[in-house]
Structure 1
Amino acid sequence: MAQPSPSDLRLPGHPHFAYRNGELMVEDLSVSALARTHGTPLFVYSQSAMLAALAAYQRGFAGRQALICYAMKANSSLAVLQTFVNAGCGLDIVSGGELARALRTGVAPEKVIFSGVGKTRAEMRQALEAGIGCFNVESLAELDVLNEVAAALGRRAPVSLRVNPDVDAKTHPYISTGLKGNKFGIAHDAVLQAYRHAAQLPGLRVVGIDCHIGSQITEMSPYLDAMDRILDLVDAIEASGIALEHIDFGGGLGIDYQGDTPPAADALWQALLAKLDARGHGQRKLLIEPGRSLVGNAGLCVTETVCLKPGEQKNFLVVDAAMNDLPRPAMYEAYHAIVPLQPRAGEPTVWDVVGPVCESGDWLGRDRAMNVQPGDLLAVCSAGAYCMSMSSNYNTRGRAAEVLVRGDRAQLIRTRETVDDQLRLESQLSLG
């Protein structure tokens, strides 16, 4: 089996990542040159790819009342957040830490949406004092606590109730959020009573309804099914005398990891808006919270080959990136394409690509055919979402550096973490 030529190597995110003259480029810069400058592991992002992904949503909502709130848990690096805020987006947060990070970007607080199933009283106070746009509330218990916190501050918290519509998003069980067995949202048949309860609480102001059914969704039908169920509830809630200012349809649109074919964002919303119009809700204000679909294919992780370890049953290609840098394979058995920055001619060998962490689960890709030598640089593709934001210091490994590219310019947006950085908050034993 011959090594594929660079023109045959398929990279998700093309044309922002492409081979030219046998060299992998990000926009107009050499990826290997960035790695030589900044070291490895290194996350490299294309800002143009992010903005192109956002443009598809913006085209889909042209002429509508809509606010796109980037779900910052996908990648919360400040420069990434500012890319979307500067393009007119709001932000979707799930913690007090994310709120503090969001406010550092200069985003208007009223364009911040606070999601999540376990907000603390301290986080609620922090968000109320900041003046955020909406709390997406996920339980009756949370409604009561938020009411108490808001009343103690002399405020009324704007709330939207997250509905669990019991719709199968047809995705990995760990990232499915819209079924009865998931921890998220209020059961569909309990929603009307929950709205009646919320409307009677003096510290709350009901402003919307929310639904998010999962992540990495690659089919249109789950969205259409969820919309029907949500619009049925909107009709029932407003018939009971409770007005809703907006409908929030969440996010979850998937990306291409391994030949996946999710609908384009503008095509998806063309279909969803047609249904919204047909049901008589076309003039509603809409909120959505895409994350992965805006950044996933806009990033890759560059890693260096440390050594080759042929074996009787498996050949192992050991690299300097690991499960602490790229947790998705270990967590979800997720697939990421892995390609050489400068492909070699000749017959490839089939390798399991693994990291140096002391866990058998520390693998980045299985059964990958490549002709590589120690010192060769590889790119783990589609690494813009849920990689850096989920990275850790396991084995006292520092978090990787990050570079953002626009055209022929690159900015180091996160400096590589050192051991001193990690130890700064720890104390030597003093108890004897």
Structure 2
Amino acid sequence: MSDFDYQKGVLHAEAVPLPAIADAVGTPTYVYSGAALTRRFQQVTEAFAGQPHLVCYSVKANSNVAILRLFSQLGSGFDIVSGGELARVRHAGGDPRKTVFAGVGKTPDEMAQALDAGLLLFNVESAEELEALDAVGRSAGRPAPFALRVNPDVDARTHRYISTGLKTSKFGVPFEEALALYTRAKKMKGVRALGLDCHIGSQLTATAPLRAALSKVAQLYLALQARGHALEYLDVGGGLGITYADETPPSPAEYARTVLDATRATGATLILEPGRSLVGNAGVLLTRVLYRKQTPERTFVVVDAGMNDLLRPALYEAHHALQPLVRRRGKAVEVDVVGPVCESTDVLARARPLLLPRAGELFAFMSAGAYGMSMASNYNSRPRPAEVLVDKAAWRVIRERERVEDLWRGERA
């Protein structure tokens, strides 16, 4: 994470010392590097230069409107999974005509809103969803453009909660049913087949599963064209991993070679849906030490960030590196870093070697730009963190810290 490094012993985001942000805004606070976001997006687009393609940033990874606006200004489209995400994209200035709508549970109202907005493509995930989309298209008086998401039954070799391409997954249509569904769709007046979609999972660190899945999908694409389906788009999904600890995920260039080798014969315009790989290493979560606690079995360090602020360790047993904002010398001891939430799973870093932190000391959970704030909640009636975007030596708050009064907004006593 070259955009987060130490300068004279103090951790910086670009040219901004992170303690200055923590002192001004408080903790917990998410901090993002605009340079890292921009560079990663450009690396992906450059890797696919010469091949017709559209990058559709996966909004669920981090949905702050400032980040959406930045990607939109860089030329990005968007991958959404709800009507709320569509509203965010439009509020941020994103183009619905460069937006694809995924997810297994789109409601008819969400479909109608997206169709009215001029959405590029609906990624349909079941036969009944196709029927619902057909009804929406007929009611609107214009066919809804769609791609069928197929499930190639390929193991993504990632955590079971983020592997989406197996037969046991709720996502996608079984591969062997796709031809029949496209044939059925030809007789429907409210839909129009424009593409084919596949996404096998998230945090992919090897290219072999992707190659296997896309090779199958490319053959299906060609078979559909041979049967008279005028497809234009092949949505290859996203899921490219990042480094949290010692992972060595493919580079954007290696990822592009894998995708292009598997799909070049289709002649399709590729739709890419990167999320984590664009924002994950571009963000950190700042936190402050509250207490230290010694038991016969453990040394605990209690911080002011909890699982409601950063859910991934509790949900996925995920690893986030932990760095002090100001380095000091000493001998490391093994500690569990825990939050204030009243749950035993509120452990943000287990069995970590750290110089025993002092109360008030500041730390950063690294690689927290993806699925950090977007998964944050008000559990235990805790206001959600602030968010900050850094641009060289300048920074600004892009989401104010929630106030206690915000916790019951909309409730009636």
**Where does residue 5 of structure 1 map in the other structure?**
none
Which residue of the other structure, out of 290, 296, 300, is the alignment partner of 1:306? 290
**Where does residue 142 of structure 1 map in the other structure?**
129
Matches within 5 A, 1:261-300: 261-277=248-264, 280-281=265-266, 283-300=267-284
Structure 1 counterpart of 2:394, which letter?
R
Contact 1:176 1:213 (C-alpha < 8 Å) held by counterparts: yes
Contact 2:218 2:262 (C-alpha < 8 Å) held by counterparts: no
Greater Cα shift, 53-62 or 313-322:
53-62
Matches within 5 A, 1:12-51: 13=1, 15-51=2-38
Please report how far the alpha carbon of residue 272 of structure 1 lies from its aligned counterpart in structure 2 after TM superposition: 2.2
Please report how far the alpha carbon of residue 392 of structure 1 lies from its aligned counterpart in structure 2 after TM superposition: 0.2
CA distance in 2, matches of 1:271, 1:312: 51
Which residue of the other structure, out of 384, 393, 396, is the alignment partner of 2:369? 384
**Where does residue 218 of structure 2 map in the other structure?**
231
> Once superposed, which parts of structure 1, at least 4 consecutive aligned residues long, lie more than 3 Å away?
none
CA distance in 1, matches of 2:263, 2:108: 36
**Where does residue 79 of structure 1 map in the other structure?**
66
Please report how far the alpha carbon of residue 402 of structure 1 lies from its aligned counterpart in structure 2 after TM superposition: 0.3
Greater Cα shift, 237-246 or 295-304:
237-246
Q: TM-score, normalised by structure 2?
A: 0.98
Please report how far the alpha carbon of residue 128 of structure 1 lies from its aligned counterpart in structure 2 after TM superposition: 1.0
Does structure 1 residue 426 correspond to structure 2 residue 394? Answer: no
**Where does residue 343 of structure 2 map in the other structure?**
359
Please report how far the alpha carbon of residue 180 of structure 1 lies from its aligned counterpart in structure 2 after TM superposition: 0.3
> What CA deviation, in whole Å up to 9, does each residue of 1:62-121 have, x standing for no partner?
112110000000000000111111100001100011111111111121111100000001
Matches within 5 A, 1:25-174: 25-174=12-161
CA distance in 2, matches of 1:271, 1:357: 43
Q: TM-score, normalised by structure 1?
A: 0.94
Please report how far the alpha carbon of residue 165 of structure 1 lies from its aligned counterpart in structure 2 after TM superposition: 0.5
Please report how far the alpha carbon of residue 307 of structure 1 lies from its aligned counterpart in structure 2 after TM superposition: 0.5
Structure 2 counterpart of 1:408, which letter?
A
Partner SS, residue 398 of structure 2: strand
**Where does residue 8 of structure 1 map in the other structure?**
none
Please report the RMSD computed on the Cα atoms of aligned residues, expressed in angstroms. 0.8
Does structure 1 residue 249 correspond to structure 2 residue 236? Answer: yes
Partner SS, residue 312 of structure 1: coil
Partner SS, residue 158 of structure 2: coil
Contact 1:150 1:157 (C-alpha < 8 Å) held by counterparts: yes
Partner SS, residue 289 of structure 2: strand
Contact 2:164 2:171 (C-alpha < 8 Å) held by counterparts: yes
The alignment-based identity, stated in percent, is: 49
Please report how far the alpha carbon of residue 276 of structure 1 lies from its aligned counterpart in structure 2 after TM superposition: 2.7
> Between Structure 1 and Structure 2, how many residues are aligned?
412
**Where does residue 7 of structure 1 map in the other structure?**
none
**Where does residue 334 of structure 2 map in the other structure?**
350
> What CA deviation, in whole Å up to 9, does each residue of 1:286-344 have, x standing for no partner?
10101000000000000000000011111100000000000000101111101111122
Greater Cα shift, 47-56 or 249-258:
47-56
Please report how far the alpha carbon of residue 357 of structure 1 lies from its aligned counterpart in structure 2 after TM superposition: 0.6
Does structure 1 residue 214 correspond to structure 2 residue 198? Answer: no
Please report how far the alpha carbon of residue 239 of structure 1 lies from its aligned counterpart in structure 2 after TM superposition: 1.7
Please report how far the alpha carbon of residue 227 of structure 1 lies from its aligned counterpart in structure 2 after TM superposition: 1.1
> What CA deviation, in whole Å up to 9, does each residue of 1:23-63 have, x standing for no partner?
00100000111100100001000011111111221111111
